[in-house]
Structure 1
Amino acid sequence: MNWQEVSGNWVYIPPHPKAIIHFLGGAFVATAPQVTYRLLLEHLGSQGYAVIATPFVNTLDHSAIAKDVLYKFDRTIDELRTKSILKRRYLPTYGIGHSMGSKLHLLIGSLFPVDRAGNILISFNNFAARDAIPFVEQLNFNPGFNVEFTPSPTETNKLIAKGYQVRRNLLVKFTKDTIDQTSPLTELLQKRFPDMVTALSLTGNHLTPLGQDISWRSGQDFSPFDAIGQWVKQEIYREFNQLKSVVLRWLNPLSSP
């Protein structure tokens, strides 16, 4: 399998996919998800999931981004079926989002009629623009003009509470993630869909889903420094592998751990 660019998306399709994953990454690493999230997405592909990763550039208008990535996703599905790359007429579709990607999946599920078997929302955050973008307030030359995301954090919560339609959800936060806002989202979704929302706290940080591919070559003589390097690499991959395992178990609860 290799990555292909199809209608503005990066796709990774196994021979006989059992489901489709629409992946959206974090704000500043979403422009090339096939690179920044390669290890996670290719692992999902190796387990039989067709991955469609939509790149996007962050702006203040998050509703417009959500509309655009959904349009690109739908257009890519149509093209893959037209070319018989996706041969089965129906495959369940799951959304997976990291950081801002989680917010976009929530907006998609709240603003547009979509058919989703479930969403996995990782490291969700819903900060105001002044907290999310360094120096954004310096762009506000007119005191009467407020630089803010559309929808704002408060408006986003209201949209989710009123209109979010994806019933089955997995919410993942990491113990060392200082910008995570998964807990209030969990309360919001559990009120809307009792017994359909699972929230987990895993060891790791906000960058754990990127699963950086760290190359560490030991010297000719294995030194204490080499031992420390190997230990760091093992710890990073232990956190990343735990995330992969949790995601796969939730996607297919009947599969073996």
Structure 2
Amino acid sequence: MPSPKFEPVSYSWVALHPQPKGVIQFIGGAFFGTFPTLSYRHLLQEVYRAGYAVVAMPFRFSFRHWGIALGLLEEQRRLRALLPDLAQRLGYEGDLYRQGDRYAWLGHSLGCKYIALLELLCGVELDVQDETLDRVIGSKTARWLRDRLSTVPTIWNQPSQLLAPDLSDTTSAVPVKALAHLLDALGLGVQPTRSQTLALIDRSRLFNLTAMVAYDRDGVAGSLQDACAATSDVLWLYQHLQAKGLIYREFEGRHLEPLGVKIGSWLVDLNPLDKFIKPLGQWPTGDAVLELFTRLQTVEMTAEVGMTAEAVSGDRVPTLVER
């Protein structure tokens, strides 16, 4: 299989596959996600060569994460309208790109927070009568979100895979803590905050098609070795999503492990604070990502069978998926 050829479509970079088994939509970290096809080049190549069409979605820098998440939903809507015609012009079958349940999400670092917000933006989480939402994020923000939900699609029934998730706060984006606290006090910091995001995930009925990959020396997202979930996003998510069938893998490495360009038999990211250069044989991330997407697809198919059985029998059949 040749390397993917990314081309700009709408605001994203797209590599269509001649015989796709699905579409993987990728969102990277705060800085590296601006140039995803370069920063995550080898990972995206591995996903493509495994049979997936790949959509890499850059995003602008902003403290208003709800707005970015809504923009990503709108971008998905545009792409679903554009990709079938693009596929047909290339001589490929275009029907798959019209099917929402053939799309999945892959994120790294801050990109995982946006995927979590996309999940929370599914309509069942933002019921007009839900006063809990108003208490968590404030009535003004809640009204603002509800007014926009009717005009955008959701990621209902689309699996998500989180690589070293960073549910970023203002202190993550601004290294000077005093300045970060001042911005928060003035209402100019990151919205939603980490605590708000965790509170919404905690009460959510969703996140039933989720996988997570972590690294044991990750000083940003954390790992299961951390002592306290209050400062470890990985540990918190593991504790709260286990009951929903979270699929989890952890490997040796640091936060930027998914980055890199293949040069010969080496993976190079030229970052002296991370792996810098590593033999591909010691980089399990690519194989893990593909394995977990296969397992997520199996869970999704099992849930669909359960829901079909419920419809036939008239009895409630417990499923892993309610979205």
TM-score of the pair, normalised by structure 1: 0.82
- The question of 1:118 aligning with 2:126 is answered no
Verify the 8 A CA contact 1:95 1:116 in the aligned structure 2. Answer: no
1:81-105: CA deviation from partner (whole Å, max 9, x where unpaired): 2334433343622110000011100
1:60-95: CA deviation from partner (whole Å, max 9, x where unpaired): 111111111121122112101233443334362211
Residue 2 of structure 1 corresponds to which residue in structure 2? Answer: 5
Q: Secondary structure at the match of 1:5?
A: strand
Provide the C-alpha distance between the structure 1 equivalents of 2:119 and 2:47, rounded to a whole number of angstroms.
22
Q: Secondary structure at the match of 1:40?
A: helix
- The question of 1:154 aligning with 2:204 is answered no
List runs of 5+ in structure 2 lacking aligned partners.
89-93, 123-153, 222-232, 267-275, 297-323
Distance 1:116 1:239, change over 3 A: farther
Verify the 8 A CA contact 2:171 2:181 in the aligned structure 1. Answer: no
- The question of 1:135 aligning with 2:143 is answered no
Residue 201 of structure 1 corresponds to which residue in structure 2? Answer: 250
* Identical positions, percent: 26
Residue 259 of structure 2 corresponds to which residue in structure 1? Answer: 210
Residue 225 of structure 1 corresponds to which residue in structure 2? Answer: none
| Deviation of 1:132 (Å) | 3.4
Provide the C-alpha distance between the structure 1 equivalents of 2:257 and 2:183, rounded to a whole number of angstroms.
39
Residue 104 of structure 1 corresponds to which residue in structure 2? Answer: 114
Which aligned pairs between 1:2-81 and structure 2 lie closer than 5 A? 2-81=5-84
RMSD across aligned C-alpha pairs, in angstroms? 2.7
| Deviation of 1:209 (Å) | 0.4
| Deviation of 1:38 (Å) | 1.1
List runs of 5+ in structure 1 lacking aligned partners.
218-231
- The question of 1:92 aligning with 2:107 is answered no
| Deviation of 1:252 (Å) | 1.9
Say how many residue pairs are matched.
236
- The question of 1:189 aligning with 2:232 is answered no
Provide the C-alpha distance between the structure 2 equivalents of 1:122 and 1:175, rounded to a whole number of angstroms.
12
TM-score of the pair, normalised by structure 2: 0.66
Amino acid at match of 2:236: P
Amino acid at match of 2:294: N
Distance 1:109 1:253, change over 3 A: closer
Which aligned pairs between 1:218-233 and structure 2 lie closer than 5 A? 233=277
| Deviation of 1:140 (Å) | 7.2
Verify the 8 A CA contact 1:203 1:239 in the aligned structure 2. Answer: no
Verify the 8 A CA contact 2:13 2:57 in the aligned structure 1. Answer: yes
Amino acid at match of 1:246: A
Distance 1:69 1:117, change over 3 A: closer
- The question of 1:167 aligning with 2:167 is answered no
Provide the C-alpha distance between the structure 2 equivalents of 1:234 and 1:9, rounded to a whole number of angstroms.
29
Provide the C-alpha distance between the structure 2 equivalents of 1:141 and 1:118, rounded to a whole number of angstroms.
37
Provide the C-alpha distance between the structure 1 equivalents of 2:184 and 2:166, rounded to a whole number of angstroms.
27
Provide the C-alpha distance between the structure 2 equivalents of 1:41 and 1:138, rounded to a whole number of angstroms.
36
Q: Secondary structure at the match of 2:25?
A: strand
Amino acid at match of 1:49: Y
Verify the 8 A CA contact 1:123 1:174 in the aligned structure 2. Answer: yes
Q: Secondary structure at the match of 2:241?
A: helix
Amino acid at match of 1:208: E
- The question of 1:244 aligning with 2:244 is answered no
Provide the C-alpha distance between the structure 1 equivalents of 2:292 and 2:15, rounded to a whole number of angstroms.
20
Provide the C-alpha distance between the structure 1 equivalents of 2:174 and 2:63, rounded to a whole number of angstroms.
10
Distance 1:39 1:63, change over 3 A: same
